[in-house]
Amino acid sequence: MPSNKSNSPVTLLDVAKAVGVSRATVSLVLRESPVVAKATRERVLAAFKEMGYVYNRSAANMRSRRSNTVAVIVNDLANTRFSMLVRSIESMLSRHGFTTLLGNSDESVDKQRRFLETVRQYNIDGIMICPADATSAEDMNQILSWKIPCICVSRHVKGVEADYVGSDNKRGMALATQHLISLGHKRIAMLGGHERSSMGRERLEGYLSALEAAGIKRDDRLIAPARQGHSLQSEGKRLVAAQLRMKNPPTAAVCHNDAVAFGVIMGLRSLNLEAGRDFGVVGFDDVPEAALWEPTLTTVGSQLEQVGQWAAELMISRMNDPVRLPTRIEVTPTLVVRESCGSGQRRPQT
């Protein structure tokens, strides 16, 4: 490893070049960040000693003013899927010494912007965002222009180059729809969701692709989005009632998420119908309540804990290497078959 033979002070960039790592990595070692691997840390420390680097801590503090905080904003904390996601993110970030600042946008771009502009003033080290429905490419690019490490979680924005971690929504909804088709259903509704978000668009694409593969013609009357500003369960209840009033109604439904599916089950019951017996219902996300509902809910497991963990790890990686190319990670979903679609084993009555 080369030593400094000139009279000029050794810089972080000099050390980084000598070790073969980024300047950001050397800076993280100085701040005793836990995100740097032990072997890398030891190499950097050895280079400091050999090259005669002198650390001016007071000057570094003035320059960096790091806070060890990450802002996390999601669009609906009342939805169990997001509380699960946030808990997983917070747990992983905490292991690495970061504190989470949590925001809830309620699908409002203005509220999302105000939260992020506020926490930005506190020198946050990163932003993890599930963009509100109407978030535009211009909105996201404004956030990225701040040069704060930023990760999109569960949703992304078209036309924006940014790190992203989420479930493979298209594949998951295709699995749900294919399962109902395999049970003999041909009139399958898609309830809840909307095309204002990437998640809604991708889940709709999965539904339509499964219908097309089975030779079932698209019927737009069977695609019913949820109204914004209403609870998802109440929307599920309303939507299934409206569908069943149609001429030639559906015999089953895939739902945008489990909350909508729970509302559908309640709506069926209010009409003296039973999910799994009179009508097939499949949800999406596999929140803990899905296995406890009556009847238990067939759903798509979107691996929320894994999404949260990988998103937090990607956040730390982005902090470690701010200039690398964006990474896109899609977690593979699974179909969890229970009672509500009619093919699961009914629980014994007591």
Identify whether residues 99 and 163 lie together within a single domain.
yes
Kindly state whether residue 193 falls inside one of the protein's structural domains. Answer: yes
Identify whether residues 110 and 179 lie together within a single domain.
no
Identify whether residues 287 and 264 lie together within a single domain.
yes
Least confident span in 19-33, 145-159, 199-213, 235-249: 19-33
Q: What are phi and psi of 122, to 5 degrees?
A: -100, 20
Identify whether residues 197 and 280 lie together within a single domain.
yes
Assign residue 136 the CATH number of its domain: 3.40.50.2300
Identify whether residues 176 and 286 lie together within a single domain.
yes
To the question of pTM greater than 0.85 for the whole model, the response is no
Identify whether residues 269 and 230 lie together within a single domain.
yes
Identify whether residues 113 and 193 lie together within a single domain.
no
Domain count, the chain: 3
Kindly state whether residue 2 falls inside one of the protein's structural domains. Answer: no
Determine the residue type at 100: T
223 versus 15: the higher-pLDDT residue is: 223
Range of the domain at 26: 12-64
Identify whether residues 84 and 138 lie together within a single domain.
yes
In this prediction, residue 349 has a pLDDT band, given cuts at 50, 70 and 90, of very low
Rounded to a whole number of angstroms, the distance between the first and last alpha carbons of the chain is 74
211 versus 228: the higher-pLDDT residue is: 211
At residue 7, the pLDDT reads: 53
Assign residue 27 the CATH number of its domain: 1.10.260.40
Kindly state whether residue 181 falls inside one of the protein's structural domains. Answer: yes
Kindly state whether residue 40 falls inside one of the protein's structural domains. Answer: yes
At residue 342, the pLDDT reads: 82
Residues 47-93: pLDDT tens digits? 888 888 766 544 454 445 578 899 999 998 888 999 999 999 999 99
Kindly state whether residue 112 falls inside one of the protein's structural domains. Answer: yes
Kindly state whether residue 350 falls inside one of the protein's structural domains. Answer: no
Kindly state whether residue 344 falls inside one of the protein's structural domains. Answer: no
